[in-house]
């Protein structure tokens, strides 16, 4: 067994302090968070954390259980890269005069799927959404043309097998939750189930 990249998706209530509660589950075990994103979900009032870490599956499973144990956490899932669709957004600031004079640059940007966000006299900002290799490749492309600034967002990920949270939430809201909300669902169906 070796460490792998896992994307953890956590459905939560939206409450002050919950980010800290989740973050310390990792820091307490000296595990580095590679990327963390918080976002609303398709369900009003439900919040979503997307966390990327490099760890052994066994550790990731335990982490997810610790996360789910938090009172305000509805559900935590972990997935490998193959089980999700994911994107990161990158922004690049480049001097406008270079782009204006070097026609090649515009072609390169187009080839890399970049679109223009802002054009000013002194600089232009491009955006690219994609996988890490893609956003990183464009840095290399733009460096010779005087890349001024680069920033990349956290990962956002959609779980391929997920049917969303609407149905699930209804189940959670019941006094006696059904099988769907059961925490031990994965124990005997480890292979086929995407959730923990």
Partner 1 sequence: MQTFAPEKETTNKPTVISKTGSQAVLEAFLAEGVETVFGYPGGAIMPIYDALYDYNDRLKHILVRHEQGAIHAAQGFARVSGRTGVVFATSGPGATNLVTGLADAMIDSTPLVCITGQVFAHLLGTDAFQETDVINITTPVTKWNYQVTDATEIPHVLAKAFYIANSGRPGPVLVDITKNAQLQLFEYSGYEKCTHIRSYRPKPIVRKEYIEQAAELINKAERPFVIFGQGVILGKAEKEFKQFIEKAGIPAAWTIMGMSAIPTEHPLAVGMLGMHGNYGPNVLTNECDVLIAIGMRFDDRVTGRLDKYAKQAKVIHFDIDPSEIDKNVKADVPVWGDCKETLPLLTKMLEQKVYPQWLQKFRDYQQKEEDKVIREELNPTGDILTMGEVIRNLNELTGGDAVVVTDVGQHQMVACRYAKYNQSKSNITSGGLGTMGYALPAAIGACYGAPERKVVAIIGDGGFQMTLQELGTIMQFKPNVKIIILNNNFLGMVRQWQQLFHEKRYSFVDIQSPDFVQVAKGFGIPGKSISQRSELNAALEELLNTNGSFLLEVMVGKENNVFPMVPQGRGVAEIVLSKEEI
Residue 114 CA, distance from chain mean position? 20
**Cβ distance to partner 1 smaller for residue 21 or 152:** 21
Cβ nearer to partner 1, comparing 33 with 181: 181
Q: How far is the CB of 154 from partner 1 (least distance, A)?
A: 22
Shortest Cβ distance from residue 185 to partner 1 (Å)? 9
Phi, psi of 56 (to 5 degrees): -75, 150
Instruction: Report d(CA 51, CA 35) in Å as an integer.
Output: 6
Residue number with CB closer to partner 1 (5 or 183)? 183
Pick the closer one to partner 1 by CB: 54 or 70: 70
Q: CA nearest 168: which of 78, 75, 84, 85?
A: 75
Asked whether the beta carbons of 7 and 52 are under 8 A apart, the reply is yes
Nearer to partner 1, 146 or 178 (CB): 178
- Minimum CB–partner distance for residue 41 and partner 1 (Å): 13
Q: Measured from the CB atom, is 82 or 188 closer to partner 1?
A: 188
Q: How far is the CB of 169 from partner 1 (least distance, A)?
A: 8
Residues forming contacts to partner 1 in the complex (CB under 8 A) are 12-13, 16-17, 20-21, 24, 28, 61-62, 65-66, 68-69, 71-74, 169, 172-173, 175, 177, 179, 181-184, 187-188
- As to burial, measured by CB atoms within 10 angstroms (0-12 exposed, 13-18 middle, 19+ buried), residue 190 is exposed
Q: How far apart are CA 141 and CA 190, in angstroms?
A: 43
Least CB distance to partner 1 at residue 132 (A)? 31
Shortest Å distance, C-beta 181 to partner 1: 7
Q: Which long-range contacts (CB under 8 A, 24 or more apart) does 34-42 make?
A: 34/5, 35/88, 35/154, 35/155, 36/154, 37/153, 37/154, 37/155, 37/156, 39/156, 41/11, 41/165, 42/164, 42/165, 42/166
């Amino acid at each position: 067994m070796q460490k792998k990249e896992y994307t953890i998706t956590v459905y939560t209530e939206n409450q002050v302090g919950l980010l800290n509660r989740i973050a310390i589950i990792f820091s307490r075990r000296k595990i580095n968070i590679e990327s963390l994103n918080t976002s609303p979900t398709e369900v009003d009032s439900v919040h979503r954390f997307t966390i990327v870490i490099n760890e052994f599956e066994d550790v990731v499973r335990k982490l997810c259980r610790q996360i789910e144990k938090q009172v305000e956490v509805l559900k935590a899932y972990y997935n490998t890269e193959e089980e999700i669709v994911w994107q990161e957004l990158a922004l690049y600031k480049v001097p406008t005069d270079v782009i204006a004079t070097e026609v090649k640059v515009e072609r390169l940007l187009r080839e890399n799927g970049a679109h223009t966000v802002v054009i000013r006299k002194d600089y232009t900002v491009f955006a690219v959404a994609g996988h890490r290799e893609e956003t990183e490749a464009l840095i290399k492309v733009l460096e010779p043309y005087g890349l001024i600034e680069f920033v990349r967002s956290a990962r956002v990920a959609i779980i391929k097998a997920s049917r969303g949270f609407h149905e699930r939430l209804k189940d959670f809201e019941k006094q006696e939750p059904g099988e769907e909300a059961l925490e031990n669902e994965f124990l005997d169906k480890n292979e086929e189930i995407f959730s923990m």
